[in-house]
Structure 1
Amino acid sequence: MPSRKTVRIAALTVVAACSAASALVVTSTAQAETVRIHDIQGTTRISPLAGQQVTDVAGIVTGVRTYGSSRGFWMQDTEPDDNPATSEGIFVFTSSTPKVAVGDSVTVSGTVAEYVPSGTSSGNQSLTQISRPTVTVVSSGNAVPAATVIDAKSVPAAYTPTGDTAASGSVNGLTLEPTKYALDYYESLEGMNVQVADTRVVTATDPYAELWVTVKPGENATRRGGSVYGSYTSQNTGRLQIQSLGASADFPKANVGDTLKGTTAGPLDYSQFGGYTLVADKLGTIEQGGLKRETTRKQGQGELAVATYNVENLDPSDDTFAEHAQAIVSNLQSPDIVALEEIQDNNGATNDGTVAADRTVKKLIEAIAAAGGPTYEWRSVDPVDLADGGEPGGNIRQVFLFNPKRVSFTDRAGGDATTAVGVTKVHGKAQLTASPGRIDPANDAWKNSRKPLVGEFTFRGRTVFLIANHFASKGGDQALHSQYQPPKRSSETQRHLQATAVNTFVKKILAAQKDADVVALGDINDFEFSDTVQLLENDGALWSAIKSLPKSERYTYDYQGNSQVLDQILISPSIRRSEEFTYDSVHINSEFNDQISDHDPQVLRFRP
């Protein structure tokens, strides 16, 4: 066993200094006799020396970060121990541009800290680092420790252990089992030089010069190259985020299904925006997979085509109108009705009391006509200023577009931002008290959130009720890579109330007319297997039609390497029983680096 340097650990209490986020507060009066990097990292996620001062910790510099709020360098021990749970690498947070280079042999004295990206309230795991360092360069030009290979064989099939209930569900105090759990495996490599090779891209390059790959190409694979997120208990363990230590302008533009060819290597970091991240100082090259934007089929003469499309904060100042119009005309084949989400008011995020969105909608309608589509008409209800959430000042809302040559809208006065629409029975048929209208807008379920827009349409003599939704976002939920396992999904509470309110309204329609054709659609902000959707479907009032697709095709959104469902179209029993409906998730955005929205539109075709 190589000799180890003896260090003196002062008996003191320390709050670790960290970069641009909260620190995990650790107090200790213990003393350590010797220390190497693996002694600092320990066998759990929290360093046994957290909050203590260490002296002359040795390592070879493997990567240097000279940008952002977390400047510093990674170093790795050349004399590893024989415990696979203890990492041999660590990040040294310098705050200013570090004065070291890759290959330098250094000794570092400083404070062991646990940095929690986005702060302790986020639930994120912590990153063990040395802060307030004094760095001594012993020599330069040394060989960097060989990168540990991350591949399908090395990453376990199970994602994470269950958290310690005595510690509020945290995995922090659990001894790492890197051969059993993927998150433990990645944690055991925290700060070390790692590499992947010939990996498939499962989330396209984003505006922040990041992409996601999988080292397990067969894991819940879509036919277009992604990895489906199909349940809370079936995680995709092969996902890994890739960033670069180089200039962001040089980062490759990749789509889902492309291959990051060759070796990509660098230190393994931990980020609030994706968890474990390979920060590459050696980046592979992109081999294109040839992914094309999908086009759905045209509806038949007797089919009603209904679509939902989140156009992502569209306002008159945007330059995407022509592209959205082309998508609606060409890729969606000009549906008879389009429920739009995230239509902003006439001056977008300018917060001056404007709530009308007629300029926004008319600009889109004109662009659709110019692209060769129909001249749509539209209906909506302006919200109360600043009452519906979204970008402050934007006043996002849902809007119905409809082709008057195929569909007629039943206008019935009385609907406004604060009046609840009701259901009556007239001549044995259900009828809305107002059209367009809003469902129960005073209900706390819709506080600071979009109220559902409901309208009554007629197609070939048959009435169809549409409910356009945009449920509360998943913001505030703990990440899949959270220290709390299973992670808490706090945002569900409001969506459950919203789902119950919509389900109650649909039941009122069905009570008045058992065979009524009802379609509830939009950005549900939750998965097809979620409790939110179960509440929407309660007692068979609705059914999410995306479940008619094979599991490998159920996705509308791509997030952190997971192809998942957020946008849905739910149908009443009369439509489902007919067995003549078809459903298509039209993948034109979520898998592409040049997307015009982060959501894919959905199209339902049926015969009322």
Structure 2
Amino acid sequence: MSLAAQDRVILTGLLDGTAPGAKPRAIELYVDGTVDLGDYVIQRYANTGTEPTGIALSGTYTDAFVYVVNGTDEFAQAFGTAGDFANIISSGTVSGNGNDAFALSRNGTILDQVGGEIGDDTDLYTDSYLYRTDNTGPDGGWVAANWTIPGNDVLDNKSLAEIGALVPFGSYRVGAVGPSVAVSPTADLGEPEKNGAFTLTLSEPAAQSVTITYELGGTAVAGTDFTDPQSGSVDIPAGTLSVPVNLTVIDDKTIEGTETIELTVTAVTDARYATGATATLSLTDDDLGSDPIGIHLVQGTTDVSPLAGNTVTVQAVVVGDFQAGLGGFYLQEEDADADLDSLTSEGIFVFASSPDVNIGDLVTVTAVVEERFNQTQLRGGDAGAMITIEAVNVGMPTAVNLALPSSDDRLEAFEGMRVSPVNMVITSVDGLERFGEIEVTSDERLVQFTECNEPNATALAAFIATQENDVVVIDDGRSGTNLRPILLPTGDPLSARTEFRAGQRISGLTGVLGYGFNRYRIQPTETDRVTLSGNERPTDAPDVGGNLRVVSANVLNYFTTLGSRGADTEGELQRQEAKIVAAMCALEADIIGLIEIENNDNVALARLVDSLSVHCGSRYRYVVSPNPGEDQIMVALVYRSDRVEESGTAAALATPASLFVGPGTNRVPLAQTFRVIDSTSPSFGETLTVCVNHLKSKGSGCGDGDDDSGGAGNCNGTRTGAARAITEWLATDPTGSEDSDVLIIGDLNSYRMEDPIDVFLQAGYQNTKTLVGDGKFPCGGGPPSYVFGGRWGSLDYALASPSLARHITGATAWTVNAPEPEILDYNTEDGGAHIYAADFYRFSDHDPIVVGIDLGQIVNKVPNGAGTASPVELQRSGESSYTFVNMVRRSEYLITNAAGQVLHRGVATPLAGTISTVGLPAGIYFVVLREPGVEIATFKVFK
């Protein structure tokens, strides 16, 4: 195709993100005119390479920005999805390391370039960005003079929201060069009677008179603070270059401080002249004076103080003393001095490390008002502030009960004030180790969207927006990173024995609501009554019943090759091993599926299995995989040789290669059949096939058509394809067992409502956690196994084939890892050496899945749900029959489905107490027994 003169594509921005996984990474394109991007390609020249990797483009756009993104979820959180930010092309190849060059080409010709010269190893944008200067490009190559280059590491330690605020994506402007209108400030205004003016100037005189229309904005209000006699337009006669815009000040009596008036040119009758020029005047208020004013006047009704830049005097009570930690203190008006406006705050931060103040002091401060890191504050002694302690131990202002959800606009009204959070649950402890902060939300932890919802981009955006209003940070009142000891909201230091976990409800806390790093934060001031409750730390392995136990456990890169993906030293490896062994010994599993074992000819696997045998009191062996794959990590099967034996031919699935071989694919699954050889077990002689898996992560992209923007994330197609291949493979009986009892376990890297899980369920497999679990958080899925970004869901599964499902007696996640602070793991960096115990807490970042099974003809008794102790139990006595045990008198019973619909009624006696479920489809049912003299008993059964 041929392009019109204005139809072109320009590289305008490049981002190297710093969120987990170095996300987001993105290239910004600007389409000037109308262009089909399918005719173009972006070429990545990695490091000093001169052979490019191509990134295909697609879609037709008109005068729009388009973003080629690695990490679409992170990009959406940083920049949103509105407007041009919805124009996303997903690509995992956008992974520049600060010295990677990217070229835009068409028909083999480079049209534009960003990131430096091809082959040059200079780091230009590591943990940073590059952005094109307006009205430049395309350049046909790299032209550094046409780019803003802020330097490396400017995005270090920045949140996604902070990255979105710092990187100027979407701001590039292009236009033809021609005559224009300039605006300049001529004279500022001041009360009571100093008028002011702007000057409008043409870059070249017009042949005929022109009319210039303008708009007036800023913090000053026309008609209240000033008047415009020209009413928004002026004429410039032919041959004249400039005219004034005169403004008349109004002397009001409102305390306003210095305000601004901004003039923007919006139209010119001669269309040759460009519009958009702006300039700003100041309007000085004469009503501020030197007497103390209310802090609410300083704060105003928006997130920016109306008195910013002015010197004010306030007198209030110190409600938070953080001079040692944050370099200042918080003041709040006494209750009697507060106004009645719900939009204004009564508190403010004073950035001053001296003089030394204490909570309860009445202090007078005269200082300059400023916005620092988006928090309104008074600048301290370094800016000439006067701070006087007037009295001590005065009464404290009343704390505000702070409930979520609450928008930032609403929280702004409490900035700097005493608050007592109510009904708060810890949703994230990810920032505890490095920043001393936790995230709390209302009622229950935040949930991953696709744990409870089908992927949908529109619904996802609304979901995230809702969640963002439902979280606030509880900080530790200190600045800096990796501070030790780690202080908890209880006031206590964190230790290996401290029970402090996500999911706990926190109550009794009072602090000051501040703002920093783009988040509202509660800085604790009163911790003596703080209590933590709920989501208790497990002390024992879960009771899942049955007589055969299978565990799926991610062991977080157990590597004997030191300094690679796991432990850095032998000491760290021993610490890691001790925690894993403690967990496996406590679980007493007969069969264990391990994920993230180093793939090094079974050296790492053999060491771990030997350690299990030594410390657990049972002899463990591992299955030799016929094909562990090419990845650095592999899956493994381990078993207690005194309880089960290998009864089939170990099988691995490595086809098709596009799904299981090479970078960006799933790890090779391993399946083996086991026979129960413990003659004391009711399952003696029975067999079971276990298939352990580790599907592709969401961390790096797999390309357009594979990555999902509706919530399932990167490589959804690769995982879905693997799920389909695995179910089809298992249907062929790859181990030769001739037994239909199959359990699929492992880290499937998919939340419950995503396509890969749907594929397994459609093949007849049942999620054991929902089959026999407690049906609780989140949305009936039972305990989640993983947390990312403070949002919870299940990535780890045990899926039972139809014939096996009826033999499942229990299944759950053992929550000893994901809710725990990361610093409790084996690593010794950043003070971790001093917060360690050789126990099973935080042996990984995923919680293991534990499954109980009874393969015998008669499975365990089903406990009854009677409120008063009843001796009656229900016991499976056949494939489709159950018998009441310990029943002493004639009783009525009924069978209902999960919706409560009665399907059958009958009478049972001590001599004829067997009931049948013949004819009922597979599912969950309830048997209700009405025995005279005893409360109604309810039994939950599965078919």
TM-score normalised by length of structure 2: 0.43
Q: Residue 264 of structure 1 aligns to which amino acid in structure 2?
A: T
- Could you tell me which runs of 5 or more consecutive residues in structure 2 were left unpaired when the two chains were aligned: 1-252, 264-277, 454-462, 479-483, 493-497, 559-566, 676-685, 702-707, 825-840, 856-943
- Could you tell me which runs of 5 or more consecutive residues in structure 1 were left unpaired when the two chains were aligned: 14-26, 116-126, 160-180, 221-225, 346-354, 389-394, 424-436, 477-487
Bigger relative contact order (CA 8 A; separation at least 6): 1
- Can you list the C-alpha shifts for 1:383-421, whole angstroms capped at 9, x where unaligned? 75xxx6xxxxxx5544332334414276669x7xxxx71
SS in 2 for 1:376: strand
Per the alignment, residue 191 of structure 1 pairs with 416
Per the alignment, residue 574 of structure 1 pairs with 802
Cα 1:140/1:320, change in 2 over 3 Å: same
Q: Is 1:265 aligned with 2:514?
A: no
Distance 1:249 1:299 in 2: 39
- Aligned partners of 2:727 and 2:763 also within 8 Å: no
- Aligned partners of 1:107 and 1:137 also within 8 Å: yes
Report the Cα offset of residue 457 of structure 1: 0.5
- Can you list the C-alpha shifts for 1:249-295, whole angstroms capped at 9, x where unaligned? 554244358776755323344557xx543211322356576754232
Equivalent residues, number = 483
Normalized per residue, the structure richer in strand is 2
- Aligned partners of 1:259 and 1:288 also within 8 Å: yes
Q: Is 1:522 aligned with 2:746?
A: yes
Distance 1:144 1:533 in 2: 60
Report the Cα offset of residue 146 of structure 1: 1.8
Q: Residue 851 of structure 2 aligns to which amino acid in structure 1?
A: L
Q: Is 1:336 aligned with 2:560?
A: no
Per the alignment, residue 134 of structure 1 pairs with 383
Q: Which residue of the other structure, out of 810, 813, 837, is the alignment partner of 1:585?
A: 813
Distance 2:786 2:389 in 1: 43
Q: How does 1:462-473 map to 2 (within 5 A)?
A: 462=687, 464=689, 466-469=691-694, 471-472=696-697
Distance 1:457 1:5 in 2: 79
Report the Cα offset of residue 311 of structure 1: 2.7
Q: Is 1:47 aligned with 2:304?
A: yes
Per the alignment, residue 8 of structure 1 pairs with 258
Q: Is 1:376 aligned with 2:621?
A: yes
Q: How does 1:56-67 map to 2 (within 5 A)?
A: 56=312, 58=314, 60=316, 61-65=318-322
Q: Is 1:454 aligned with 2:669?
A: yes
Report the Cα offset of residue 84 of structure 1: 1.9
Cα 1:518/1:110, change in 2 over 3 Å: farther
Distance 1:311 1:458 in 2: 23
Q: Is 1:600 aligned with 2:847?
A: yes
Distance 2:354 2:601 in 1: 51
Deviates more, 1:500-509 or 1:287-296: 287-296
Distance 1:264 1:560 in 2: 28
Q: Which residue of the other structure, out of 240, 245, 256, is the alignment partner of 2:477?
A: 245
Deviates more, 1:186-195 or 1:247-256: 247-256
Q: Residue 523 of structure 2 aligns to which amino acid in structure 1?
A: V
Distance 2:639 2:769 in 1: 22
- Aligned partners of 1:503 and 1:541 also within 8 Å: no
Distance 2:259 2:486 in 1: 44
Distance 2:409 2:788 in 1: 18
Q: Is 1:362 aligned with 2:606?
A: yes
- Can you list the C-alpha shifts for 1:298-353, whole angstroms capped at 9, x where unaligned? 7745x4x33222333444533142232122122x22x233223344x5xxxxxxxx
- Can you list the C-alpha shifts for 1:522-573, whole angstroms capped at 9, x where unaligned? 3345543x43565554634544332232332522357599783334214254
Distance 1:475 1:40 in 2: 47
- Aligned partners of 2:545 and 2:810 also within 8 Å: no
Deviates more, 1:360-369 or 1:531-540: 531-540
What is the alpha-carbon root mean square deviation over aligned residues? 4.9
Q: Which has the larger radius of gyration?
A: 2
Q: Which residue of the other structure, out of 654, 663, 669, is the alignment partner of 1:421?
A: 654
Per the alignment, residue 112 of structure 1 pairs with 371
Cα 1:458/1:198, change in 2 over 3 Å: closer
- Aligned partners of 1:589 and 1:599 also within 8 Å: yes
Report the Cα offset of residue 586 of structure 1: 1.9
- Aligned partners of 1:259 and 1:286 also within 8 Å: no
Cα 1:359/1:506, change in 2 over 3 Å: closer
Q: Which residue of the other structure, out of 643, 646, 649, is the alignment partner of 1:408?
A: 646
- Aligned partners of 1:8 and 1:31 also within 8 Å: yes
Q: Residue 729 of structure 2 aligns to which amino acid in structure 1?
A: I
Cα 1:292/1:336, change in 2 over 3 Å: closer
Report the Cα offset of residue 583 of structure 1: 0.9
Q: How does 1:207-606 map to 2 (within 5 A)?
A: 207-208=433-434, 209-211=436-438, 219-220=443-444, 231=452, 241-245=473-477, 248=485, 251=488, 252=492, 253-256=498-501, 262-269=508-515, 275-285=519-529, 291-297=537-543, 300-301=546-547, 303=548, 305-314=549-558, 315=567, 316=570, 317-318=572-573, 319-330=575-586, 332-333=587-588, 335-343=589-597, 345=598, 356=600, 358-369=602-613, 370-379=615-624, 395-405=632-642, 406-408=644-646, 421-422=654-655, 439-442=659-662, 444=664, 446=665, 451-460=666-675, 462=687, 464=689, 466-469=691-694, 471-472=696-697, 492-509=712-729, 512=732, 517-525=741-749, 527-528=751-752, 530-531=753-754, 534-537=757-760, 539-540=762-763, 542-548=765-771, 549-552=773-776, 554-557=782-785, 564-571=792-799, 573-575=801-803, 578=806, 580-592=808-820, 595-597=841-843, 598-606=845-853
- Aligned partners of 1:145 and 1:193 also within 8 Å: no
- Aligned partners of 2:258 and 2:310 also within 8 Å: yes
- Can you list the C-alpha shifts for 1:361-402, whole angstroms capped at 9, x where unaligned? 334323322232432315566675xxx6xxxxxx55443323
- Can you list the C-alpha shifts for 1:168-218, whole angstroms capped at 9, x where unaligned? xxxxxxxxxxxxx4665444323322234897767679435445667x6xx
Q: Residue 413 of structure 2 aligns to which amino acid in structure 1?
A: S
Distance 1:532 1:359 in 2: 35
- Can you list the C-alpha shifts for 1:219-271, whole angstroms capped at 9, x where unaligned? 35xxxxx8888757696988654333377455424435877675532334455
Report the Cα offset of residue 606 of structure 1: 3.8
TM-score normalised by length of structure 1: 0.63
